[in-house]
Amino acid sequence: MRLDERTRPDFPILERVVNGHPLVYLDSAASSQRPRTVIEAMSQYYARSHANVHRSIHTLGEEATELYEAARDRVQRFIGAGSREEVVFTRGTTDGLSLLAETLGRTLRAGDEVLITELEHHSNIIPWQLATRDRGAVLKAVPLGEDGTLDLEAFERLLTRRTRVVAFAHVSNVLGTINPVAEMCARARRAGALSVVDGAQAAPHLPLEMSALDCDFYVFSAHKMLGPTGIGVLYGRRDILGSLEPGRGGSEMIKEVWIDRAQWNDLPWRFEPGTPSIAEAVGLTAAIEYLEKLGMERVAEHGRALTRQALEGLAAIPGVKVYGPPATTDRGAVVAFTVAELHPHDVAALLDAEGIAVRAGHHCAMPLMRRLGVVGTSRASFSVFNSPDEVGHLLAAVAELRAAL
């Protein structure tokens, strides 16, 4: 049985009819949809167990704490982290990257360098701009080659003894490029720099094993991997996390507080000030359970098959241009394309009239758009519930677009 045949009944939103057509949701790279188990787990939590975590000495508080900390264990196993202390909950990828840039930013000195890449999402650009600007440090970017992959020779040249942090995406949210994470992290370490990996587009699709990637930090969001909005994960190597001063303060992240000083809490709570996203942690547990039941290898293969079908089909339509590495390379489950003279927003609006949801615009990657020489692109992205038939609908609709406007 194909993966989508098994999963589709689990996603209630797929019953929606949009503009007279059954919904074809091809925007999971922005935010995926949720299976019923995730929705029900959160609703059950609110209906039966909600209280604040950690300091509530009553039954509900204990249940909520147990559920919240169980989510941490689940995440630890899902990403192959060495210990639960290495798993910090955030509000999402953007929040995780900001937290790291704020925290690591404090250790930067004038003349230090932070190295990002040309294909980053704004979330992995702006926090580093702010951090370097405040400290008189320098922000540099690894250029993109013509084939949509990073120029690794340039990476080697740009990596100097002044480089303190290397931050890059595991999978590009526009081009689908899968960067050689393990190799880049190893090179960063040899140069004495910390590695930060934006895994927002990888966690939903690829089996993850932190020890194999051997990065110092890895961040991702729940809502792109069938989970709820408002929660994400920051993985950090224990020795490094333990050596960092917290960048943000509040309750929960301290052991003892005086007016003029405080003693920090243990890992991972040191980096989780305030009441966390508890119901969302429960939802994330359910999302991980769902993905693990399907098997991440199968999830990855399903994404690859749909991506190949879309890439080959779109490239065959006159006037359509696809971006990123060739269909034969291993890519993430996104396909960015333009249709002749049509503006990407018009493409998305015309497809919406057919019930097909795609993303259009700069995809929060303006420097990449500039590098590609386009205002924006349209982007179809796939998840476990998408079928080859849906990709077929997309291809048929795109072929008709120029006649429709």
Partner 1 sequence: MTDEVMARAVGGPHAGFAGAAGTGSGSAGNRRGPLLYSDVIRERWRRPRFRGELPGASAVAEDVNPLCGDRVRLMVALEGDRVATARFVGDSCAICTASADVLAELVVGRSRAEALRVDTADVLAVLQADIRPTRMRCVTLPLSVFAMALNGKS
Contacting residues toward partner 1, per CB under 8 A: 16-21, 343-346, 349-350, 352-353, 360-362, 366, 369, 375-376, 403-405
**Amino acid in the structure at residue 297:** E
- Residue in 391, 322, 346, 284 with CA at minimum distance from that of residue 32: 284
Catalytic residue positions, numbered: 364
- Residue in 210, 114, 205, 118 with CA at minimum distance from that of residue 166: 114
Distances in Å between the alpha carbon of 29 and those of 202, 224, 303, 388? 10, 6, 12, 17
Range list of β-strands (E), 135-204: 138-142, 163-169, 194-198
Q: What's the closest the beta carbon of residue 266 comes to partner 1, in angstroms?
A: 42
Q: What's the closest the beta carbon of residue 141 comes to partner 1, in angstroms?
A: 19
DSSP-derived pairing of the beta strands 377-381 and 359-361: antiparallel
Q: What's the closest the beta carbon of residue 37 comes to partner 1, in angstroms?
A: 21
Report whether 148 contacts 325 (CB < 8 A).
Answer: yes
Q: What's the closest the beta carbon of residue 369 comes to partner 1, in angstroms?
A: 7
For residue 347, the 8-state DSSP code is H
Q: What's the closest the beta carbon of residue 156 comes to partner 1, in angstroms?
A: 32
Comparison of 1 and 17: residue with beta carbon closer to partner 1: 17
Question: What is the Cα Rg of the chain in Å?
Answer: 22
Q: Is the dihedral of CA 178, 183, 185, 187 positive or negative?
A: negative
Comparison of 151 and 346: residue with beta carbon closer to partner 1: 346
Comparison of 70 and 349: residue with beta carbon closer to partner 1: 349
Comparison of 11 and 235: residue with beta carbon closer to partner 1: 11
Comparison of 233 and 348: residue with beta carbon closer to partner 1: 348
